[in-house]
Amino acid sequence: MWSYQHTNFLVHQIPALSDNYIFLIQDYHSDVVCVVDPAVAEDVKVACEKLNIKPTHILNTHHHWDHTDGNEELIQMYDCEVVANADDAPRIRGISMPIPANGSLKLGSLNIQTLDVPGHTLGHIAFVIDDALFCGDTLFGGGCGRLFEGSFEQMWSSLQKLADLDEKISVYCAHEYTLPNLRFARDMDADNDVLIKRISDDTQTRMKKQPTIPSTMALELQTNPFLRPLNQAFIQTYNKQNNENFNAFQVFQDLRKRKNTW
């Protein structure tokens, strides 16, 4: 487990399954403890006992089993509330606090903003608390989620919403996929020095069995191939190399398609 200090809360990062991360958000000013995407209840329990805290709320970004499987057991153990997208309520096990996909809520002293980010699934939402973003399977370190339900247009607009957040925001995504993602990124963006440095930094991090997550939006903007189409120079280079005349969305779409078979 790893812990990160923010002004109003702590984030504890728990590795689960083969590459999932579960996050605990511990409010400094109340007893509120939020569990983001509990893949496995037992891992949350062990972490909470170590920290001597009790989950009060579960925050689900989307309905997939590797983000919600722990819901029911945690409700039984801690009697916690399940906060998730009202529009996706039938698919979220144990949901007790349905909330708007774009909105805000206050839990303890935590001011939580929700963002509607369809693409990976149609009901996918992200949570923003101060300078921390919990984006589930929408944006990854060096990558983005697969389009299981949404369109390319939806995912592109969702990624732009996240890219519009403050670039200092910490990106807490739900999987450790960064290194394989960056290998694809290097193939698409070979002359990017920031990317080459990130690959070397993150490779060392993983050799020490440390997480590459959280990253920052600034780093993602500079190195994530699915955000790079926001950069005009990148589009020009991409078009030249591929003999195309794509706009930003079309570059994103082309990259997302290529990644599926890469």
176 binds Fe ion (CB under 5 A): no
Hey, what are 126's tokens? 């992200």
Q: 63 in the Ramachandran plot: left (φ > 0), alpha (ψ -120 to 50) or beta?
A: alpha
Hey, what are 248's tokens? 């930003």
The residue (of 43 and 137) whose beta carbon lies closer to Fe ion is 137
- Give me the least distance between CB of 174 and Fe ion, in Å please: 5
88 is annotated as an active-site residue: no
Question: Which partner in Zn ion, Fe ion, none is near 45 (CB below 5 to 8 A by kind)?
Answer: none
The residue (of 108 and 150) whose beta carbon lies closer to Zn ion is 150
43 binds Zn ion (CB under 5 A): no
Stretch that binds Fe ion, among 105-113, 129-137, 180-188, 248-256 (CB under 5 A): 129-137
Hey, what are 28's tokens? 């400094």
64 is annotated as an active-site residue: yes
Query: Across-strand partners of 173?
Result: 136
- Give me the least distance between CB of 197 and Fe ion, in Å please: 28
57 is annotated as an active-site residue: no
- Give me the least distance between CB of 155 and Fe ion, in Å please: 15
137 is annotated as an active-site residue: yes
Which residue among the candidates 64, 69, 116, 189 is catalytic per the annotation? 64
DSSP letter for each residue of the chain: -EEEE-SSEEEEEEEETTTEEEEEEEESSSS-EEEES-S-HHHHHHHHHHHT----EEE-SS--HHHHTTHHHHHHHH--EEEEEGGGGGGSTT--EEE-SSEEEEETTEEEEEEE--SSSTT-EEEEETTEEEEETTEETTEE---SSS-HHHHHHHHHHHHTS-TT-EEEESB--HHHHHHHHHHH-TT-HHHHHHHHHHHHHHHTT----SEEHHHHHHH-TTTGGGSHHHHHHHHHHHT----HHHHHHHHHHHHHH-
79 is annotated as an active-site residue: no
19 is annotated as an active-site residue: no
- Give me the least distance between CB of 163 and Zn ion, in Å please: 20
d(CA 83, CA 59): 5
The residue (of 43 and 137) whose beta carbon lies closer to Zn ion is 137
Among 137, 176, 189, 202, binds Fe ion (CB under 5 A): 137
Hey, what are 207's tokens? 């050799």
The residue (of 27 and 137) whose beta carbon lies closer to Fe ion is 137
Q: Which of residues 49-68 bind Zn ion (CB under 5 A)?
A: 64
120 is annotated as an active-site residue: yes
Which residue among the candidates 27, 66, 88, 189 is catalytic per the annotation? 66
66 binds Fe ion (CB under 5 A): yes
259 binds Zn ion (CB under 5 A): no
137 binds Zn ion (CB under 5 A): yes
Known catalytic residues are: 62, 64, 66-67, 120, 137, 175
Q: Provide the binding-site residues for Fe ion, judged by CB under 5 A.
A: 66, 137
Q: Provide the binding-site residues for Zn ion, judged by CB under 5 A.
A: 64, 137
